[in-house]
Structure 1
Amino acid sequence: MKARSALKKFVLWVSLAIVVNIFIYIIFGSEPGLEFLGGYIIELSLSVDNLFLFLLVFTSFNIPISYQKRVLTYGIFGAIVLRFMFIFLGVAIVNTFHWILYIFGFFLFCSGLKILFNKEEAVDFSDSKVLKIMKKIIPVTDDLYGECFFVRKNGVLHATPLLLILVLIESSDIIFAMDSIPAIFSITTNPYIVYSSNIFAILGLRSLYFLLAKLNSMFKYIKYGVAFILMFTGVKLFIAFFGITISTMVSLLVIAIILLVSILFSLLCT
């Protein structure tokens, strides 16, 4: 996917999300509308850091760009299913044990600090525990077989490296969801708002990935914006313990400013 095509498709998905946001605003009121917008912006901004991880995975295993599209498509469908389970389970837990939001706040703040101060180092994804477990379950071919996830060799079913990449990406998305979903809980715990904003953000990720793959050197400071967003949402959740609340509108403004500043800083320092 060329950068221009990826940009057009990403803008299309964002436009569709805005249309849905307007409908929610008109039908259900201003607060649910702002909550959807806040959840969407949080999910999309935090997703950027995860997309760079996907780029590193594909690069490490020398996966051709033409095969990456299929892996990302299946990865998105997997993320939609996993988010459904995580979000509704998470909301049920939060509604039963409200104090867990304060724990979420603490871990989100720590996650932000980790991103902020961690040094960038080369990662050997081939040494991943997930891949080692997969190789024990099913034999894996050394070579790619087009876009196939499975092939038969001498009557024995083998997985191709493309399937291992898909499993690695899905497992990383599970870890990512542990940050992004609690972050959205700082805006709302309405499961329908959380899930719908998540899904619309996820649907645009494939196009955003190919755009970032072409322009990744221009957005090297985005991760710091992601770190500050995580820290802000963590603080917002934690201070609720002391009866201090930050409105959805203020949260939206803070998150949008952090995101815009990190983008502008990246562009100016390229």
Structure 2
Amino acid sequence: MLEISPLVWGVTIALVVVLLAADLLLAALRPHKVGFKEAAAQSVFYIAVAVGFGVWFTAAYGGDFGTQYFTGYLVEKSLSVDNLFVFVIIMTTFAVPEKHQHKVLTFGIVLALIMRAIFIAAGAALLNAFSVVFLLFGLLLIFTAVQLFRHRDEDPDIEDNAVVKAARRFLPVTDDYVEGKLTVRTAGRRMVTPLFLVLIAIGSIDLLFALDSIPAVFGITSEAFIVFTANAFALLGLRALFFLVKGLLDRLVYLSTGLSIILAFIGVKLILHWLHVDISPAVPEIPTLVSLAVILVVLAVTVVASLVKTRNDPTAHAHPGSLKLTGSTKDHADR
């Protein structure tokens, strides 16, 4: 079992908070269009921070825990790319000005980290108390994988998001972004701007992704510290990665298929672990190194196959897949 001192926890959380605060402050003080060079430099920086932390962690706590961290980071990074698809759709749906996209993404990442921290604490407590949670997490991931594969050629309908629809119904909304403010007072009346709705949309989507990504990384490791750091460092680079690859996302036509395979694989891994612990030690488990190899192969095949497909068929374009919080009105109408 991994023993992490309060000092290491404190320093790690402080590092994440400082990086987030710096990003948020930059977005607030200097709203601007983020160019390719800036996005590339920031992406390299965040990846270097994540890798550097992994190298230190491996040296300090051993190769097994280090492998768990890097595998978890890889899983969360690959799942975060699907987040980017949805972020692009949200930005497009609400016509967010480019100079405000930096701020929106940073707030979205803060919300995602808060939600994941809550789910990590709850998940770790449940796993320690009830080993059957491994079975439940495994079934949840397999169900998610099936749903993602079934709807792999769809885009989420942001306008049909129940939370966004409720906000539109009960809150007065301005017609424009009013210099990136969340609320303004107009004619003595407090109103929210479309940016407020964008944050609501991103927050509800973050909740949905947290419900999938946390069980996925718990399928790699049951250590709360590794789960937190893998999520935190994957999300910290998400904003820069958005601006770096948003023009290339459309070419990853098989990403949803690849992610569904990864989620199903981790789901099976969790179920085997539960069977090994609760039913019979004779049931084999999938080693972390094997998991790492499978994930790398699936991601590599997904990227190469996508690029070949779009090269041979320029009309092909990617979709993030549709995983809804609730069934849409269109779905009910179709039934």
Please classify the TM superposition score into its range, dividing by the shorter chain length: over 0.9
CA deviation vs aligned residue, 1:11-43 (integer Å, no higher than 9, x gap):
221111111001011011111111111110111
Q: Which residue of 2 aligns with 1:8?
A: 41
Relative to 1, partners in 2 of residues 1:260 and 1:4: Cα closer, same or farther, differing over 3 Å? farther
Report the more deviating stretch, 136-145 or 146-155: 136-145
Match of 2:64 among 22, 31, 34: 31
Tell me if structure 1 keeps the 8 A contact 2:131–2:274.
Answer: no
Tell me if structure 2 keeps the 8 A contact 1:3–1:214.
Answer: no
* 2:54 alignment partner AA: N
Report % sequence identity: 38
Relative to 1, partners in 2 of residues 1:148 and 1:33: Cα closer, same or farther, differing over 3 Å? same
Report the more deviating stretch, 249-258 or 135-144: 135-144
User: C-alpha displacement at 1:122, in angstroms?
Assistant: 5.4
Tell me if structure 2 keeps the 8 A contact 1:104–1:182.
Answer: yes
User: C-alpha displacement at 1:246, in angstroms?
Assistant: 0.7
- Secondary structure, aligned partner of 1:158: strand
Tell me if structure 1 keeps the 8 A contact 2:272–2:285.
Answer: yes
User: C-alpha displacement at 1:134, in angstroms?
Assistant: 2.0
TM-score by length of 1: 0.95
Q: Which residue of 2 aligns with 1:172?
A: 205
Match of 2:298 among 258, 261, 269: 258
Whether 1:105 aligns to 2:121 is no
Q: Which residue of 1 aligns with 2:321?
A: none
Q: Which residue of 2 aligns with 1:218?
A: 251
User: C-alpha displacement at 1:226, in angstroms?
Assistant: 1.0
Q: Which residue of 1 aligns with 2:160?
A: 127
Q: Name the count of aligned residue pairs.
A: 270
- Secondary structure, aligned partner of 2:248: helix
Relative to 1, partners in 2 of residues 1:77 and 1:219: Cα closer, same or farther, differing over 3 Å? same
Report the more deviating stretch, 198-207 or 117-126: 117-126
TM-score by length of 2: 0.77
Task: Kindly name which structure, 1 or 2, has the bigger radius of gyration based on alpha carbons.
Answer: 2
Q: Which has the higher helix share?
A: 1
User: C-alpha displacement at 1:128, in angstroms?
Assistant: 2.1
Whether 1:248 aligns to 2:274 is no
**Equivalences for 1:70-89 in 2 at 5 Å?**
70-89=103-122
Q: CA separation in 2, counterparts of 1:15 and 1:228?
A: 28
Structure 1 portions without partners, runs of 5+? none
**Equivalences for 1:123-162 in 2 at 5 Å?**
123-162=156-195
Q: CA separation in 2, counterparts of 1:166 and 1:5?
A: 24
Q: Which residue of 2 aligns with 1:18?
A: 51
